[in-house]
Amino acid sequence: MSDSKREDSRPSDRPREDAEHDTGGRDAGSRDTGGLDWLDAELADTLDEDYELELSEPALSEEIRKIYKRTHPPSIERREYLRHLIRLQAELIKLQDWVAYTKAKIVVVFEGRDAAGKGGVIKRITQRLNPRICRVVALPAPTEREKSQWYFQRYVTHLPAGGEIVLFDRSWYNRAGVERVIGFATPDQVEQFFRDVPEFERMLVRSGIILLKYWFSITDEEQQMRFLMRIHDPMKQWKLSPMDLQSRVRWEDYTKAKEDMLFRTNIPEAPWYIVEGNDKKRARLNCIDHFLTRIPYTEVPHQPIALPERVFDPNYERRTLPPELYVPQKY
């Protein structure tokens, strides 16, 4: 049938491909490994950072390799990691359904040193969720207009409505960290922040928001290794900013600022939770698991879903589209 005719909605008369082809060359009598095949497909789809590291290892400098081997004990095996991750992501979908059903409001704050792994865990949380329900807020440096506003104002506009989850990739705690250390905020402004933030967060909780705060902790050597990775890997160089380099120079200043922040803003209504981040995979699993334990979500009812039959119109003819509309098939 020519392209100008209607598409055939009936099953194809082409014989089914043989079993050996279907199973990737395995005998038809071999054990069913469909689950493992699916897990392999998930691995290929996810292409985690540790997998990228192995693929690019020959290109890594000897300096990076020495630091990595010295500071990294054997991590969790990749297949086991993915099994846990997929199980936790399935629970995140249940959480998402509960949030949408109950109109709950959740805010999760992710803080930590540069290259501590905040973005990595956020990526795994959002990977399978609906972006209309779970969204990420990563604000740039404030504009001149925003600098003249109430400090918390530009964050308030991103708080969730009912049925939403908001993940802050850095948050109002910039004032207690980078702004304090680099000098973008005066000592008086920092002190005012410390007076205001406990009451601000209590207001959020009283309004019905579930507020969680995570600090990702890594060692000096681990940060050094991750920065070197960013310098030597063209695919990660965009992650490295001049402010990141300053964080190396001012490591101890950031440490003092972090300790002060955790001490002065750890309130019963919104406590801090510290994630040990040197092992990226374990940090992701531990953080997601803990996040799930802090939310009282339950199974919610779902309407049964059935795929409707395709409506077939015998008079429909498919129009021929000009070839320039199609993306070239290079691969």
Q: What domains are there in the chain, each with its CATH number?
A: 46-293 (3.40.50.300)
pTM: 0.80
pLDDT of residue 228: 83
pLDDT of residue 68: 66
Q: What is the DSSP letter of 210?
A: E
pLDDT of residue 36: 60
Specify which residues 136 forms β-bridges with: 167
pLDDT of residue 1: 46
pLDDT of residue 43: 54
Q: How far apart are CA 135 and CA 137, in angstroms?
A: 7
Q: How far apart are CA 151 and CA 112, in angstroms?
A: 20
Is-contact 106 270, C-beta < 8 A? Answer: no
Q: Which two tokens stand for residue 199?
A: 């009451």
Give the position of tokens 């990294």. 72
pLDDT of residue 58: 45
166 φ/ψ angles, rounded to the nearest 5 degrees: -120, 125
Average pLDDT for runs of 10 along the chain of length 331: 42 40 42 56 53 48 64 80 96 99 99 94 97 98 97 99 99 98 97 99 99 97 85 75 82 97 98 96 98 98 94 92 96 95
Q: What is the DSSP letter of 267?
A: B
Q: How far apart are CA 148 and CA 310, in angstroms?
A: 58
pLDDT of residue 56: 46
